[in-house]
Amino acid sequence: MPTAENGLQISVVVPAYNEQDNVVPLIEAVREALDGRNYEIIFVDDGSTDETFERLRGCTDRRLRIIKFRRNFGQTAALDAGFKAARGRVIVPMDADLQNDPADIPRLLEKLDEGFDVVSGWRRDRQDPLSKRLISRGANLLRKLLIHDSIHDSGCTLKAYRCECFRGLDLYGEMHRFIPALLQWRGFRIAELPVTHHHRRHGQTKYNVFRVLKGFLDMIIVSFWMNYSARPIHLFGSLGVTTTGLGFLCGLYLSIIKMMGTPIAGRPLLLLAVLLIIVGVEFIIFGVMSDILVKIYYRDQPTYNIETELDNSGSDDSCA
Ligand code: UDP
Ligand code: MG
């Protein structure tokens, strides 16, 4: 868990997977941008098969910390390891490929000082191929519909977070794209700031079109978690009751016409009625099971998030 040790101001967290030609120039760019500040830079080598680790190891900067994964676990896992290792009061994740610009970090910190918990980078002038930008537009639109967050560019890695943000935040799958939404839901104050975005000069992008599908599935999980994590029975129960109810109505209609003498054995509606009732009952059972699972999940952690606690028990009874 992040703690602010030794007055360390900033932890720059950089996941790197096969970025051998980018890592050293990035360290230099961060050094230039954060000159005079108390910071550390944590690289998480996510199982690179090129010389990323050797180049990092060859760098003697005392502010550099390196975490090396045994294999490629993905960007979210790499970020999570970096966040857990970070000791700064503010955590600034960024890509290793020089597409984010460290020169933006001081501006993000300034904005954070205006009283926000997160300042989210927004690549307003994004330098990626058209296909990627279009996919991202679609994903952002869908995210707004499903998750209702107010963030334009959730996928931009460059952001600034107060270290408290990560307490109790579990990151897995491709969840790093939804961190601002998850934090907003937990009550943290979010601001946005347009940041510079460059073309990738060295190395290749690690993502292809399949990321859209994974991102969509993760979005469903985030949306479900935000709306129903405390009481999943409300979702599955409502679905179950509606489906079963429809099944009963179909059955009732068929029973009435049967009583009036019309044969119903060959009617597709009969099949539908049976199907709806079975599926509805399954939904309800599923809801009960999920509720039990969630109860176990929340046994060790609260369903709420406390910002501050004041305790007057040791002081006089006065309000002056
Ligand atoms: N990355 C990683 N593990 C992965 C994939 C990517 O650590 O499995 C890092 C990568 O090295 C880069 C950042 O995540 O620093 C963003 O990746 P990339 O530039 O390929 O994504 P894009 O900018 O194309 O969306
Ligand atoms: Mg990139």
Assign residue 75 the CATH number of its domain.
3.90.550.10
- Residue 14 gets the label, from left (phi > 0), alpha (psi -120 to 50) or beta, of beta
What is the 205 CA–ligand 2 centroid distance (Å)?
A: 6
- List b or e across 31-63, with b for residues whose CB sees 16 or more CB atoms inside 10 angstroms: eebbeeeebbbbbbbbbbeeebbebbeeeeeeb
Amino acid identity of residue 239, one-letter, is L
pLDDT at 204: 92
Same domain membership, residue 54 and residue 162: yes
Measure the CA–CA gap between 245 and 255, rounded to whole angstroms: 15
Among 234, 255, 254, 245, CA closest to 277? 245
Q: pTM of the entire structure?
A: 0.85
- Residue 82 gets the label, from left (phi > 0), alpha (psi -120 to 50) or beta, of alpha
Same domain membership, residue 295 and residue 200: no
> Ligand 1 atom 21: the closest Cα is on which residue?
205
pLDDT at 1: 47
Same domain membership, residue 17 and residue 128: yes
Render each residue's pLDDT in the chain as its tens digit; 320 residues: 444 446 889 999 999 999 999 999 999 999 999 999 999 999 999 999 999 999 999 999 999 999 999 999 999 999 999 999 999 999 999 999 999 999 999 999 999 999 999 999 999 988 888 888 888 888 888 888 888 888 899 889 999 999 999 988 878 888 898 999 999 999 999 999 999 999 999 999 988 877 788 888 889 999 998 899 889 999 999 999 999 999 999 999 999 999 999 999 889 999 999 999 999 999 999 999 999 999 998 888 888 888 778 888 877 777 76
16 within domain boundaries: yes
pLDDT at 320: 62
Domain residue limits at 77:
10-228
Same domain membership, residue 195 and residue 264: no
Same domain membership, residue 248 and residue 184: no
pLDDT at 2: 47
Same domain membership, residue 269 and residue 123: no
pLDDT at 11: 97
* Domains held by the chain: number: 2
Same domain membership, residue 155 and residue 89: yes
> Ligand 1 atom 23: the closest Cα is on which residue?
205
Same domain membership, residue 286 and residue 190: no
Neighbours of ion ligand 2 (CB under 5 A): 95, 97, 99
* Distance between first and last Cα of the chain: 39
Where does a domain end: 196, 228, 260?
228
Same domain membership, residue 128 and residue 96: yes
Measure the CA–CA gap between 9 and 91, rounded to whole angstroms: 9
217 within domain boundaries: yes
* Ligand 1 near 158 CB (within 6 A): no
Where does a domain end: 194, 228, 262?
228
115 within domain boundaries: yes
* Ligand 1 near 78 CB (within 6 A): yes
Which residue from 13, 95, 156 has its CB within 8 A of the most atoms of ligand 1, so it is best to mutate?
95
What is the 200 CA–ligand 2 centroid distance (Å)?
A: 6
Same domain membership, residue 222 and residue 251: no
Where does a domain end: 198, 228, 258?
228
Same domain membership, residue 106 and residue 238: no
Contact 162, 187 (CB under 8 A): no
